[in-house]
């Protein structure tokens, strides 16, 4: 293995490590929210810097490699995708921190928050599943698995719309609980936006495998054969 390939393998390893950090933040932020675990939420907030540091390390490594070792086409495809992938992983972490702050705002008053959150556990589980599968597909360069996850985002969007409607209806019936309803809306928004960044990761995996940009292609029904 030549030096260029060795450096690309190092970047790939750093990327996988960053993905694991982002995924763990998401899992812990969701766990904290659904159980009103304020200490865990504060721990999530404190760990965000690890993901920021990983992003800076990978970007610096990639820029240095591009400047000193002109890559061939397939390697250039990977290195260009790295910049977009680390951005999406960092945004997943940031939105997970935002989710953790909602737990702090609720401050263990789960009995007041509970009427607004019947769909949040389902949204949270789907988001976690999408993240785990997207990272696995990226690691394996599995474009068909990535496309399946990409298409599943429509289900998360549907749950998000139902969640917002249910929360608004409850706030109208119980105006004294509006502050907790607002927190529920924000939590749902963050999960939906995390789903969008996960679909971006899937798009990049498909680009890595096929050299095909599927963003802005409209309705994509199935993989090309």
Number of other CB atoms surrounding residue 215 within 10 Å: 11
Look at residue 225 and tell me if it is in a domain: no
Look at residue 90 and tell me if it is in a domain: yes
Look at residue 156 and tell me if it is in a domain: yes
Closest CA to 48 of 95, 97, 83: 97
Look at residue 218 and tell me if it is in a domain: no
Return the pLDDT at 218. Answer: 57
Q: Residue 154: which CATH number? A: 1.20.58.220
How far, CA to CA in Å, does 78 sit from each of 59, 88, 182? 13, 15, 41
Domain assignment of residue 181, given as a range = 3-210
Using the CB atoms, write b or e for 152-189: b if 16+ within 10 Å. Answer: bbeebeebbeebbebbeebbeeeeebeebbebbbebbb
pTM of the model: 0.92
Return the pLDDT at 220. Answer: 59
Into how many domains does the chain fold?
Answer: 1
Rounded CA separation 8/14 (Å): 10
Look at residue 114 and tell me if it is in a domain: yes
Rounded CA separation 158/65 (Å): 42
Closest CA to 15 of 51, 45, 44: 51
Rounded CA separation 189/51 (Å): 21
Return the pLDDT at 33. Answer: 92
Look at residue 219 and tell me if it is in a domain: no
How would you class 127 by CB atoms within 10 Å of its CB: exposed for 0-12, middle for 13-18, buried for 19 or more? Answer: buried
Return the pLDDT at 222. Answer: 43
Mean pLDDT, each 10-residue run in order, the chain (225 residues): 85 97 98 93 96 97 89 84 97 98 86 82 96 98 96 96 94 91 95 98 94 72 42
DSSP 8-state code for residue 119: S
Look at residue 85 and tell me if it is in a domain: yes
Look at residue 107 and tell me if it is in a domain: yes
Return the pLDDT at 219. Answer: 56
């Amino acid at each position: 293995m030549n030096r260029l390939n060795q450096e690309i393998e190092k970047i790939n390893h750093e990327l996988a490590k960053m993905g694991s950090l982002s995924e763990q933040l998401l899992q812990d932020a969701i766990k904290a929210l659904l159980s009103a675990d304020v200490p865990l939420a504060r721990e999530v907030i404190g760990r965000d810097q690890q993901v920021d540091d990983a992003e800076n390390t990978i970007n610096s490594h990639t820029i240095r490699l591009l400047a000193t070792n002109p890559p061939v086409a397939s390697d250039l495809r990977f290195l260009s995708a790295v910049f977009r992938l680390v951005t999406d992983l960092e945004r997943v972490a940031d939105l997970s921190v935002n989710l953790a702050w909602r737990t702090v705002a609720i401050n263990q008053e789960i009995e007041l928050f509970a009427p607004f959150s019947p769909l949040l556990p389902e949204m949270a589980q789907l988001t976690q599943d999408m993240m785990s599968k997207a990272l696995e597909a990226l690691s394996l360069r599995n474009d068909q698995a990535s496309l399946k996850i990409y298409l599943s985002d429509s289900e998360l969007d549907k749950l998000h719309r139902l969640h917002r409607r249910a929360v608004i209806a409850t706030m109208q019936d119980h105006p004294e609980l509006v502050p907790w309803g607002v927190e529920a809306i924000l939590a749902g928004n963050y999960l939906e936006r995390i789903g969008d960044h996960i679909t971006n990761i899937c798009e990049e995996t498909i680009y890595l495998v096929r050299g095909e940009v599927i963003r802005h292609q409209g309705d994509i029904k199935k993989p090309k054969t």
